Chain A
Amino acid sequence: ETGVTQSPTHLIKTRGQQVTLRCSSQSGHNTVSWYQQALGQGPQFIFQYYREEENGRGNFPPRFSGLQFPNYSSELNVNALELDDSALYLCASSFLGELQGYTFGSGTRLTVV
Chain B
Amino acid sequence: GQQLNQSPQSMFIQEGEDVSMNCTSSSIFNTWLWYKQEPGEGPVLLIALYKAGELTSNGRLTAQFGITRKDSFLNISASIPSDVGIYFCAGQSQSGNTPLVFGKGTRLSVIA
Q: Categorize the interface residue count of chain B.
A: 20 to 34
A42 at the interface (CB under 8 A from B): yes
A107 at the interface (CB under 8 A from B): yes
A56 at the interface (CB under 8 A from B): yes
Distance between Cα atoms of A42 and B92 in the complex (Å): 14
Could you tell me which residues of chain B, from 1 to 31, have a CB within 8 Å of some CB in chain A?
1, 3-4, 6, 31
Known interface pairs A40-B104, A99-B48; A105-B42 also in contact (CB < 8 Å): yes
Q: Select one of B42, B45, B90, B97 contacting A4, CB under 8 A.
A: B42
For A, the interface residue count at a CB cutoff of 8 angstroms equals: 27
- CB neighbours of B3 from chain A (8 A): 41-42, 44
Please give the residue numbers on chain B whose beta carbons come within 8 Å of chain A beta carbons, in ascending order.
Answer: 1, 3-4, 6, 31, 33, 40-45, 48, 88, 90, 92, 95-105
Please give the residue numbers on chain A whose beta carbons come within 8 Å of chain B beta carbons, in ascending order.
Answer: 4, 31, 33, 35, 40-45, 48, 50, 55-56, 58-59, 90, 92, 96-97, 99-100, 102, 104-107
* Further 5 A-B residue pairs, CB within 8 A, beyond A41-B3, A48-B99, A96-B96: A44-B1, A45-B1, A59-B1, A90-B42, A97-B96
